[in-house]
A and B are shown apart, each in its own frame.
Chain A
């Protein structure tokens, strides 16, 4: 499903630092993988590269048959839209739009369904995450934990092949973290969605299929 070969990444400002060192690993379709490691070990950086949002790296990444390095910026945008769901560490919602609009946005961009169908799907996702009653509120008017769940709903709307999350449950209480885990688990088992989740939560990690542990830009166990 996801194949990573010799991925390296440097930061040059203020001094040259190699954040990722010749990383290689693979993920099977429908696998639920968590990534752990101390702050600054390169987890988020890796995730940004795998989600095509960062294009300045060396090495190769394939999602299915698709080789990232062979795609134009526009093709990468389409790939992100259709096949990758991403949940940021900070929710990153569009502040001018309602909760519902935020969730619907990627699907409207994809344009494969009618507006009514998309709204129906979006409400379903919000209901699953227990925040359907917030649908018409503006994205700025809800709490941090709710925002985080909206961001998760948004990542699910296009039924992507893979969902990547940068501590998606970091802002949630244990009850809601559990809820999100269950949703992920079900997606994985029912839809065969692959999941790659960066987390600091050991309980969360233990329940996943596989744990990749990183330190200083390298994978030390998987």
Chain B
């Protein structure tokens, strides 16, 4: 019989002979890991949902034409005032008349599509409209999109109820109507809605689905249609694009790239961080809380495990002395107790992984409804295998040390030191 299998056998016998205490020690591991996995999965799931609310629907870079005064006023063309040190004062500066159409939008999109940083680009057409019901006219906004691209890049389907974004594809007569508008006008999917454009021309569109973002001010105004439809409503030709939305592979590059676009193409652009400065702060704080909670949990569980195993080993002092007296070395004794601790750690750990998964699964099936995400019906849970690997490693490492430290101390003592005291 090899040395290790003998030592493992002794360890197994010890664990089995003290099933109750071993089970309690293993349960300590189980609960530590189970709650760690559950909390991490749940908290990061919620964080992901909250982040997604912003990240998914906001383009990393948005290109548009901003209405603003010219950067260079005519007076600076006069040689006497061209020097920036020369003082001049202009009263009542008026904004420059700008077309909403992005000039050369096709060229810009083709060029950006080849940029390695870019994940995808969607053009949009925004048109001011009125929703009409009898004599009532409601202010509104029709946005022309490419439904499939919009869904692929910005999870458009998460805000669409009663139908799918793809119902819009290939249907130039269709509209995804804002849920607020639909409620006000008592409309349902399949109904027709009359809209008037800025030129008061009447157009009828068929409702294929509703759009609900959870923000009343958006849902009461905004509807979606195909780009072609929106261009028609705006009374413009097929080259007309008012916004270009860009999604990058790496969010962090958005600010630099936005500035670059602004410089190269001479268009206005805004990056996600500038558009949602409060978002990053919120994410950081939530992550900090998640890490603080998980570290605390692991620390508390670790100390609990250490405590129980420590006690278990000190109760076995006599056996240590007997084993040493009959010829087992300090290393043998250490291994016996490390194996014991690891047996407890492995059993408790596997149970902990199972319980963590079951609890996470239970949470992920619990109902959770929010107006902001009409398609979400249950709590979001992040089933990341990393937490399971982390939990398993933690179980092994803590139990190893919880066995090793007292065993090392005990193994160094002359057997007679232990026996004489009795």
Q: Does B372 contact A (CB under 8 A)?
A: no
Contacting residues, chain A, for B325 (C-beta < 8 A): 51, 53, 80, 86, 88, 92
Choose from B322, B329, B416 the contact partner of A94 (Cβ within 8 Å).
B322
Q: Does B63 contact A (CB under 8 A)?
A: no
Query: Which chain A residues (62-99) contact chain B, with CB distance < 8 Å?
Result: 73-74, 77-78, 80-82, 86, 88, 90, 92-97
Cα distance, A93 to B323, chains bound together (Å): 9
Choose from B13, B17, B318, B327 the contact partner of A80 (Cβ within 8 Å).
B327
Cα distance, A111 to B7, chains bound together (Å): 12
Cα distance, A93 to B18, chains bound together (Å): 17
Q: Which of B13, B319, B322 has the most CB of A within 10 A?
A: B322
Q: Does B57 contact A (CB under 8 A)?
A: no
CB distance from B339 to the nearest CB of A (A): 14
Cα distance, A22 to B11, chains bound together (Å): 42
Q: Does A4 contact B (CB under 8 A)?
A: no
Q: Does A172 contact B (CB under 8 A)?
A: no
Q: Are B326 and A106 in contact (CB under 8 A)?
A: yes
Contacting residues, chain B, for A86 (C-beta < 8 A): 325-326
Q: Does B414 contact A (CB under 8 A)?
A: yes
If A53-B414, A56-B414, A94-B319 touch, whether A111 touches B1 (CB-CB below 8 Å) is: yes
Q: Does A7 contact B (CB under 8 A)?
A: no
If A54-B416, A56-B414 touch, whether A94 touches B330 (CB-CB below 8 Å) is: no
Q: Are B17 and A53 in contact (CB under 8 A)?
A: no
Contacting residues, chain B, for A207 (C-beta < 8 A): none
Q: Does A136 contact B (CB under 8 A)?
A: no
Cα distance, A168 to B233, chains bound together (Å): 108
A44, closest chain B residue (CB): B420
Q: Are A74 and B3 in contact (CB under 8 A)?
A: no
CB distance from A85 to the nearest CB of B (A): 9
Contacting residues, chain A, for B415 (C-beta < 8 A): 53
Q: Are B322 and A92 in contact (CB under 8 A)?
A: yes
Instruction: Tell me what chain B mostly uses at the interface: helix, strand, loop, or mixed.
Output: helix
If A96-B14, A96-B17 touch, whether A77 touches B328 (CB-CB below 8 Å) is: yes
Contact with A along B317-345 (1 / 0, CB 8 A): 01101111111111110000000000000
Q: Does B311 contact A (CB under 8 A)?
A: no
If A54-B414, A94-B322, A96-B13 touch, whether A77 touches B3 (CB-CB below 8 Å) is: no
Q: Are B419 and A109 in contact (CB under 8 A)?
A: no
Q: Are B329 and A74 in contact (CB under 8 A)?
A: yes
Q: Does A55 contact B (CB under 8 A)?
A: yes
Q: Are B329 and A78 in contact (CB under 8 A)?
A: yes
Cα distance, A97 to B319, chains bound together (Å): 11
Contacting residues, chain A, for B331 (C-beta < 8 A): 74
Q: Does B300 contact A (CB under 8 A)?
A: no
Cα distance, A95 to B13, chains bound together (Å): 10
Q: Does A123 contact B (CB under 8 A)?
A: no
B326, closest chain A residue (CB): A106
Cα distance, A54 to B324, chains bound together (Å): 11
Contacting residues, chain B, for A51 (C-beta < 8 A): 325
Q: Are A80 and B416 in contact (CB under 8 A)?
A: no
Q: Are A108 and B1 in contact (CB under 8 A)?
A: yes
Q: Are A105 and B326 in contact (CB under 8 A)?
A: yes
Q: Does A142 contact B (CB under 8 A)?
A: no
Cα distance, A101 to B319, chains bound together (Å): 14
Contacting residues, chain B, for A56 (C-beta < 8 A): 414
9 A-B residue contacts at CB 8 Å? A53-B414, A80-B325, A92-B318, A94-B322, A95-B17, A96-B14, A96-B16, A109-B6, A111-B2
Known: A74-B331, A96-B18, A109-B327. 17 other contacts (CB 8 A): A48-B416, A51-B325, A53-B324, A73-B329, A73-B330, A74-B329, A81-B326, A96-B13, A97-B13, A105-B326, A108-B1, A108-B6, A110-B327, A111-B1, A111-B3, A111-B6, A115-B1
Q: 7 tightest A-B contacts by CB?
A: A81-B327, A96-B17, A77-B329, A106-B326, A54-B416, A53-B416, A48-B416
